[in-house]
Structure 1
Amino acid sequence: MFSHLKQRFGAPLAAGIIGLIAIWLIGMVILPQLLMVDYSFKPNLLPAEIGGPKDSYTLDNYITLFGNTIHLGIFFKTIWSSVLVTFLTLVVSYPIAFYLAKVATPRQAALFLLLLIIPFWINEILRTFSWYIILAYKGPLNALLLELGLITRPIRFLSGDGGVLIGMVYAYILFMIFPIYNAIESLDSNQIKAARNLGAGWVRTHYRVIIPHAKPGIATGCIMTFMLAAGSYAVPALLGSPGSRWFTQIIYNWFFEGGDWNQGAAYAFLLLIICIGFIGLVMKVFKVGLGDIAR
C-alpha cells in the first residue's frame, strides 16, 4: 500500500496518509475495543472503590448473561433474526444487482441507482419512522390492501418482528446491492452468452457462471448487512413491539439506564465475538479471503 501511494503522491505525502490511517485505526477502533474488553472483565464499582480490593478481573459480567434466560433468549433471537435479514436482503438485492449490471442500459442503470440512493439522503431515523407510518394499523398500506380487497381487516405489521425485518431489509439493501453489482459487472457478458448458447437455462447459468463469479460481492454484502443488522438500534426501537426487543436495546439499557457500563461492555463484546465468527463462517462458506472481499 505504501509503495503504491509513494508512486502516486510521493514519499512524504504517502507517509502522512499512512500515519493518519494508523491514528484513526488505533484511536477510533482498536483502543475503544480494548477499553471495552477491559471494562467487561471488571465489576461495576463506586468511584471510591476503584483501585481497591474489589477492583479485580472477573467473569461475573459474562455469567450474568448466561444466567438470565430472558437476555439470553433475546441474544440468540437477535443473531437468528440478523441472519434472516441478511438472507432476505440477499434475495431482494441479487435480481436488482444483476439487472443493473447486465440487463439495464447505462442510462437505465444510472436512473435506477439514483432512485435507490435518493431516499438514503434522509436520516436513517426519519426513513425508519416513515416505515412506522406506512406499516401502522391504520396506515396507508393497510388502507391500500383493504381497498383492493386483499384483506378483510387491517394487519398489525408492527406486532412482532415483521416490521423490524421489513425496516432492516430496506435500511441495509444498498450495502448488499452495490458489492454484488460491482462483482457481476466485472463478469464478461460473453460467458453468459456462451452458457445460454450451450443450452443452459437461466437458473443453471446463474448457479454455474454468475454466482461463482459474484461470490466475493455476495460475501461482502452478507457480512456488511449482518453486522449492521446485529448492531442496529433505531430500527427495532421504532418498528419493534415490546415482545420483539433487540439485543442492542439491552446493551443500551445497561449503559444509559442501568448505568452499568461494565455489564454493557460484556454484552457488547459477546455480540462482537459472534459477528466476527459470522464473518469467518461466510468467508469459509463462499471460499473467499480478505483480499477477495476488499477488492
Structure 2
Amino acid sequence: MVQLYHRYGALLATLLIAATAIWVLMMVVLPYLVMAEYSFHPNLPMMQQGGPDDVYTLSNYASLFSGIDLLNGELPDDFRVFLRTIWGSTLVTFISLVVCYPVAWHLAKAAKPEQVGLLILLLIIPFWINEILRTFAWYIILAYNGPLNSALLGMGLLDKPYRWLSGSGGVLIGMTYAFILFMMFPLINAIETLDISQVEAARDLGAPEWQIHRRIVIPHAKPGIAVGSIMVFVLAASSYIVPAVLGSPGTRWFTETIYIWFFEGQDWPRGSAYAFILLGLCVVFILSVMRIFRVGLTDIAK
C-alpha cells in the first residue's frame, strides 16, 4: 500500500484503491451476500415472502443430505451428483498432474532455451479460442462417427465405434484439456527455481531418474503442485459448459444441478444453498492440499 502511494502519488493511488474496492464490492461481495440471504429462506411464492412463513432455515442445506440410507445403499440423486463431482474433479486434477509433470520438467530444465518459447506458444495458441468452441470441437472429435473413432478403427484398435459421450470419459477428457495449462505453468515456475546442480550431483552419485524426481524435484516443486491442483480442482468442480456439452444425463455435474434448481425448478433458495455447499467443498480442498503438501499462502503466492 505504501509503495503504491510512493509510486503513483496520493491522488492516483487513492483512485486505484477506490476503483478496486468498488469493483470487488459490487461484483463479488454483494452477489455473495444476496445468495447467502436467499439460501437461508424457504422457497415461497412472492406474495408470501416477508410474511410469517418466511423464516430463516437450514432446510435448503439439509435437503442435499436428506434421504441418505447407508445401510441400504440409498442416496438421493443430488447427493450422488455431488459425490460424482468430487470424484471427477479429483480425477481430472490427478490426470492433469500426471500429464503435465514430464512436460513441465522438459520445458523447465531439459529443453534448449531457443525451443522453450516456441513450445510454450504451441501450448497456449489453442487456448486463444473461446472455451465453448473448444468444447464443441471435442464434441465433434468424440462423436460416435467422429475422427477419434475413425482413427482407432482404422488402426485396428477398436472393433466398433466407442460411445465416448455416453459416460464420464468425454467429460474427463474435455475438462483435462480445458484446465491443463492451470497445472502446467505453476509446475514450470516451481521447477525452474530448482538448482540443476542438485540433480547433476545425484546423477554423479548413481541415483536413478525416478529417485531423483522423488527425492529432489517433486519435494522442490510442492508449491507448484499445490497451486496447480487447487486451480484445476476448483475450475473443474465449478465448470458448467464442459459437462453440459460432453456429458450425458447419467453423468450430470453438480453445477448442472445448481442450474436446474435456479432456472428450471425456480427454487433460488435451494440453488443458492447448493452453490455455497460447492464453495465450501472448494475451500475444504484448498485447505487439505495446503496441509498435505505442507505449504502456506506465502509458498503458494510464489
Secondary structure of 2:41 counterpart: coil
Structure 2 partner of 1:228:
235
CA distance in 1, matches of 2:222, 2:210: 16
Aligned to 1:83: 90
Compute the RMSD of aligned alpha carbons: 1.3
Amino acid at match of 2:160: R
**Structure 1 stretch 218-227 or stretch 26-35: which is displaced more?**
26-35
Tell me the TM-score normalised to structure 2 length: 0.94
- Give the Cα separation in 2 of the matches to 1:162 and 1:255: 27
Please report how far the alpha carbon of residue 228 of structure 1 lies from its aligned counterpart in structure 2 after TM superposition: 0.4
CA distance in structure 1 between the partners assigned to 2:212 and 2:205 by the alignment: 10
CA distance in 2, matches of 1:293, 1:178: 13
Measure how far apart 1:210 and its partner are: 1.1
> Residues 7 and 203 from structure 1, CA distance in 2 versus in 1: closer, same or farther, beyond 3 angstroms?
farther
CA–CA distance in structure 2, aligned partners of residues 12 and 290 of structure 1: 31
Q: Tell me the distance in 1 between the aligned counterparts of 2:53 and 2:209.
A: 66
Residue of structure 2 in register with 1:137 after alignment: 144
Of 95, 103, 116 in structure 2, the residue corresponding to residue 109 of structure 1 is 116
> Which AA in structure 1 matches 2:195?
D
Alignment gaps of 5+ in structure 1: none
Q: For residues 98 and 4 of structure 1, what CA distance do their matches in structure 2 show? A: 36
The structural deviation recorded for 1:144 is 0.7
**How far 1:61 sits from its partner (Å)?**
1.0
| TM superposition score normalised by structure 1 | 0.96
Residue among 228, 249, 259 paired with 1:252: 259
| 2-structure distance, mates of 1:104, 1:77 | 39
Q: Match for residue 46 of structure 1?
A: 45
Aligned position for 1:33: 32
- The Cα of 1:218 is off from its aligned counterpart by 0.8
Q: Deviations over 1:106-132 (max 9, x none)?
A: 221111111111111111011011111
Task: Please give the secondary structure, in 1, of the residue aligned with 2:65.
Answer: helix
The correspondence of residues 63-78 of structure 1 with structure 2, limited to 5 A, is: 63-67=62-66, 69-78=76-85
- Out of 203, 214, 220, the residue aligned to residue 213 of structure 1 is 220
* 1:205 to 1:12, Cα distance in 2 relative to 1, 3 A: farther
Query: Once the two structures are superposed, what CA deviation does each residue of 1:17-46 show, in whole Å capped at 9, x if it has no partner?
Result: 333332232322222222211111101222
| Cα distance, 1:92 vs structure 2 | 0.6
Name the structure 1 match of 2:73: none
Match in the other structure for 1:185: 192
Measure how far apart 1:203 and its partner are: 1.0
Cα separation, 2, equivalents of 1:12 and 1:144: 62
Match for residue 94 of structure 1? 101
> How far does residue 214 in structure 1 lie from its aligned partner after superposition?
1.0
Aligned residues: 294
- Structure 1 SS opposite 2:161: coil
**Which of 153, 161, 164 does residue 157 from structure 1 map onto?**
164
Corresponding letter in the other structure for 1:41: F
1:277 aligns with: 284
**Cα offset for 1:15?**
3.1
* From 100, 107, 127, the counterpart of 1:120: 127
Counterpart in the other structure of 2:61: 62
Secondary structure of the structure 2 residue equivalent to 1:200? coil
**Secondary structure at 2:164 match in 1:** coil
Provide the C-alpha distance between the structure 2 equivalents of 1:113 and 1:181, rounded to a whole number of angstroms: 10
- In 2, distance between residues paired with 1:51 and 1:45? 9
Paired-residue identity, %: 61
C-alpha distance in 2, partners of 1:227/1:28?
Answer: 19
Q: Does the C-alpha gap of structure 1 residues 104 and 158 become closer, same or farther in structure 2, counting only changes over 3 Å?
A: same
